[in-house]
Amino acid sequence: MAGALVAERVRGSYVMYFLGEEEPWRSYVGVAYSEDLLEWRIDMRGPIIKPRAGRWDSSWVEPGPPPYNSLWYTPNLQRMG
């Protein structure tokens, strides 16, 4: 499962937009919430973004990265060469 985490609390909870699959090559974007970043509750109302039949995104959709100023990442100072 791929996910894009919103690094700040939204209405008291952390939010993650995740990639889910209904069937192979039919993905959607779902949302989950956490109080502690360890245990997550999936919003059971269903996907928030689904593929649209006959449109450019008809096969699959996926969450993008969070905004750069909120991005969590692993830096590396090692120089190559």
Specify whether the CB–CB gap between 81 and 64 falls below 8 A.
Answer: no
Structure tokens at 38: 């360890």
Query: The pTM is what?
Result: 0.67
- Nearest to 15, CA basis, from 78, 1, 35: 35
Rounded Cα distance between 40 and 31, Å, is 10
Tally of structural domains, the chain: 1
- Residue 23: per-residue pLDDT: 77
Structural domain range at position 45: 3-66
Give 63: exposed, middle or buried? Use CB within 10 Å, 0-12, 13-18, 19+.
Answer: buried
Report how far residue 76's alpha carbon sits from residue 14's, in angstroms, rounded to the nearest whole number. Answer: 26
Q: Is residue 37 part of a domain?
A: yes
pLDDT per residue as tens, the chain (81 positions): 566 777 678 889 998 888 888 777 778 888 999 999 999 999 999 888 888 888 888 877 887 766 555 545 455 555 555
